[in-house]
Structure 1
Amino acid sequence: MITGLKPREATAIINSLTGGVVPKIGLQHITVGRSAEVDAFLQALSDVKNGHSMFKFWIGDFGSGKSFMLHLLNTVALKQKFVVANADFTPDNRLYSNDGKGVALYSAIMDNISIQTMPEGGALPTLLEKWIEQMLGETATEQNISLMDIRKEEHLPLVEQKIMKTINTITEVGGFDFGLVILKYYKGYITGKDGLKRNALKWLKGEYRTKTEARADLDVREVINDLNYYDMLKNFCKLFVSMGYSGFMINLDEAINLYKISTSTMREKNYEKILTIYNDCFQGKVNNLFFNLAGTKEVLENERRGLFSYRALRSRLETNKFETAEIRDFAQPVIRLLPLDHNEIFVLLKNLKEIFDFNFSTNIAIDERDIHQFMEELFNKPGAEEFLTPREVIRDFLNILSLLRQNPEIDKQQLFGDLQVKDERPVEMSLDDIEEL
């Protein structure tokens, strides 16, 4: 039996993997073959905790485990007391835009903020209230007022002064309005005005689209938009560190959607934004911030549409020329995820069988010899070498377990024989023939 497996984790693992997505919890129970990457990541986390910043690019073929790796990094970072957020690039979520797609990415990041006690996201209100309680406690100590009395209306100005003073010391661009909105959140929190809290949270998450609306609700001059959202992320990073967290880690997946931007000018603007963040991280212009970006080899290396099409990025992201499959350099910005070997996949499937049995309180008649036979059948199918991915192997295996659980009379050998390999790669992967608009 897998040590420490919880029923909630088992259910999340089986349901998510059957659906072809990565579970948000329990990844430690199904992690195989990535120890070197995790060890290097722990060292990078230590550097960021000590005040540095980092930008890592996780590159691998479709289905090679990029999304899994980002979720695994989440699990590791949360245990190191980082605030973590995840977002996917989509046609409507980008790093740069002039029509709201940049701030849409920011809103997705803020929606998915996680801490160790809330690993599935939605932790921003909890963090704000924790910080407010910290401000209340510090003000009470400084003013020699009891923790009970400091909440009284007569002491509101003292706490407000403390909040604004603290915000001013930890923020830079946009700090004034940022502080005013947190002040509004504090007033809503302390007086029980939930509407005021909701409006403040709406502003902080970048959901106000006009200054007029924000001014009417919160009496502030600005809103978070495509141009200033990155500054707000840096402000939040400083706020989280002031609360005692190690740093702020932001994971950005599905970089193929930047590669697919049809106009070269807009695509280059997005790559320029990556360069800006990259330079800030490695030149010491920002502290305790960790960006991870996941994409395919095509996204990185395509000289017409990929990151290498932007000369300044290419010079920074070219792989160590002395690296080989056996001799890896995990300290460089680009980490290439190699496919799991057959032994690692065997261990993974064996673990999944145990998790499946635990989740459904059953004992499916599949032993190690059957797992070997399943793998032999699948990996010897036509097209397996070119198209087969860990995602498809896992899903096929879980689907067979599901059928056997509900229909124990079925011949498992027949199920193994019916396995097929399909090309699951998205058709958009090859875009060189698309004309620029």
Structure 2
Amino acid sequence: MITNVKPKEATAIINSLTAGVVPKIGVQHITVGRSDETDAFIKALEDVKNGHSMVKFWIGDFGSGKSFMMHLMNTVALKQKFVVTTADFTPDNRLYSTGGQAVALYAALMDNIAIQTKPEGGALSVLLEKWIEQIITRTAQQTNIPLIEIRKEEHLPLIQDNILKAINDITEVGSFDFAAVIIKYYEGYIKDDQALRKNALKWLKGEYKTKTDARQDLNVREIINDVNYYDMLKNFCKFFVSMGYSGFLINLDEVINLYKISTSTMREKNYEKILTIYNDCFQGKVSNLFINFAGTKETLENERRGLFSYNALKTRLETNKFETSEIRDFAQPVIRILPLNHNEIFVLLKKLKEVFDFNYSVNIDVTDDDIHSFMEEMFNKPGAAEFLTPREVIRDFLNILSLLRQNPTLDKKRLFGEIEIADERPSMTVLDEITEL
């Protein structure tokens, strides 16, 4: 029986899964068969809380649940008081570029920053204001000026000095401009200057295209770009930890879009950036940072285009040769996402039926036996063994529930019999051509 589901979560679950994507919120209510992976992730989070950093690669077939696992990790990390964010690699979002695609990835990550009280994302401004409030309180205590008084414009220099000192203590690269922009945000905060706050947020999110515009709006010398965005992510990690958060979790999905880069030099540069991140985290060069990558087996193991084509990554990411499907090693960097078995899919569909009924305040006449019948039809269809994915099973099941909700007299068994299996996997033989800028 599904319990503690909020109406907003139920709607997100049904709408997202019907559309073939993973919901941003509520995934914990429909999780099945991932207890070992989740336990291992929680243990890794504890290490990151204690000052270590971590990189994990979540590898599975198309539709096997990689994206679902990433969203589940977000939910778990939020409860552990992490700041989390996520972004997909696309032809326009990469780790390395010379034409703006890397800073575009950074901007997407900044847009999606989430905390427990704002799990849907867009929490950067909330975090900035929370940190500023901490600086204001500390300054008031140091100067014996009442909190009501310290916020007045005449005391602005005191706050500015403490912001600068605090930022210098927690950042390494680009600390001056980082501090200057936060000071500008505070000025907008005190003076109720929405344009100034908006411009400061724009800079922090990497949305300025030219130094000239940034200098004109904020009087700073630099902008966040393809070269320095990773340093800024590390600065933000320290920034969040200084506020009392456990760490910074970054999830990067669709690594296949790095695999698809047509120019080998550009592809290698992106893999080199992954290597830099990997080494930084495991060599102790950065603290409290947890980065996850999700991709297919081909994306990892293909020695012509995949991560294994970059030898320094291959030597680090090869699977424990003693691991089997029964004996798993969750401590290694690469975690294989195994398909759900039929029992697990049955439990998942039961949970989805309960969420669906809750969302629409109905009780659709679909019994456990009906779910078994649906699954038998799905898994016995021609092509099911080769092409069928949990994503397609879920979407077809929810589509049938939707029809039955609106047309209660429809014959369930006839609907089950009309199911067809299609190959939804992206073509790996004809690669997308991506123009190098």
Distance change >3 Å, CA 346–CA 90, structure 1 → 2: same
Deviation at residue 190 of structure 1 after TM alignment:
1.1
The 2-side partners of 1:436 and 1:138 are apart by 51
Distance change >3 Å, CA 377–CA 46, structure 1 → 2: same
The 1-side partners of 2:236 and 2:250 are apart by 12
Aligned to 2:425: 425
The 1-side partners of 2:415 and 2:409 are apart by 12
Aligned to 2:206: 206
Q: TM-score, normalised by structure 2?
A: 0.98
Query: What SS does the aligned partner of 2:147 have?
Result: coil
Of 5-14 and 62-71, deviating more is: 5-14
Deviation at residue 430 of structure 1 after TM alignment:
2.6
Q: Confirm or deny that 1:395 pairs with 2:361.
A: no
Deviation at residue 8 of structure 1 after TM alignment:
1.3
Q: After superposition, where does 1:53-132 map in structure 2 within 5 Å?
A: 53-132=53-132
Query: What SS does the aligned partner of 1:329 have?
Result: coil
Would the aligned equivalents of 1:112 and 1:121 in 2 still touch at CA under 8 Å?
yes
Distance change >3 Å, CA 185–CA 436, structure 1 → 2: closer
Distance change >3 Å, CA 153–CA 434, structure 1 → 2: closer
The 2-side partners of 1:50 and 1:402 are apart by 47
Distance change >3 Å, CA 364–CA 39, structure 1 → 2: same
Q: TM-score, normalised by structure 1?
A: 0.98
1:218-265 per-residue CA deviation (whole Å, 9 max, x = no partner) reads 110000000000000000000000000000011001111000000000
1:333-365 per-residue CA deviation (whole Å, 9 max, x = no partner) reads 000000000000000001111111111111111
Distance change >3 Å, CA 433–CA 199, structure 1 → 2: closer
1:348-397 per-residue CA deviation (whole Å, 9 max, x = no partner) reads 00111111111111111110001001001110000000000000000000
Amino acid at match of 1:177: D
Q: Confirm or deny that 1:282 pairs with 2:282.
A: yes
Would the aligned equivalents of 1:260 and 1:431 in 2 still touch at CA under 8 Å?
no
Deviation at residue 432 of structure 1 after TM alignment:
7.5
Unaligned 5+ segments in structure 1 are: none
Aligned to 2:25: 25
Amino acid at match of 2:388: L
Would the aligned equivalents of 2:240 and 2:248 in 1 still touch at CA under 8 Å?
yes
The 1-side partners of 2:417 and 2:158 are apart by 74
Amino acid at match of 1:259: Y
Q: Confirm or deny that 1:161 pairs with 2:161.
A: yes
The 2-side partners of 1:255 and 1:240 are apart by 26
Amino acid at match of 1:237: C
The 2-side partners of 1:418 and 1:210 are apart by 56
Deviation at residue 28 of structure 1 after TM alignment:
1.0
The 1-side partners of 2:92 and 2:85 are apart by 18
The 1-side partners of 2:430 and 2:178 are apart by 41
The 2-side partners of 1:4 and 1:214 are apart by 46
Percentage identity across paired residues of the two chains: 77
Deviation at residue 313 of structure 1 after TM alignment:
0.1
Deviation at residue 431 of structure 1 after TM alignment:
4.7
Query: What SS does the aligned partner of 1:290 have?
Result: strand
The 2-side partners of 1:436 and 1:95 are apart by 16
Distance change >3 Å, CA 216–CA 347, structure 1 → 2: same
Would the aligned equivalents of 2:261 and 2:433 in 1 still touch at CA under 8 Å?
no
The 2-side partners of 1:306 and 1:431 are apart by 15
Aligned to 2:233: 233
What is the root-mean-square deviation in Å for CA atoms of aligned residues? 1.3
Unaligned 5+ segments in structure 2 are: none
1:40-85 per-residue CA deviation (whole Å, 9 max, x = no partner) reads 0000000000000000000000000011000000000000000000
Query: What SS does the aligned partner of 1:292 have?
Result: strand
Deviation at residue 214 of structure 1 after TM alignment:
0.5
Deviation at residue 433 of structure 1 after TM alignment:
11
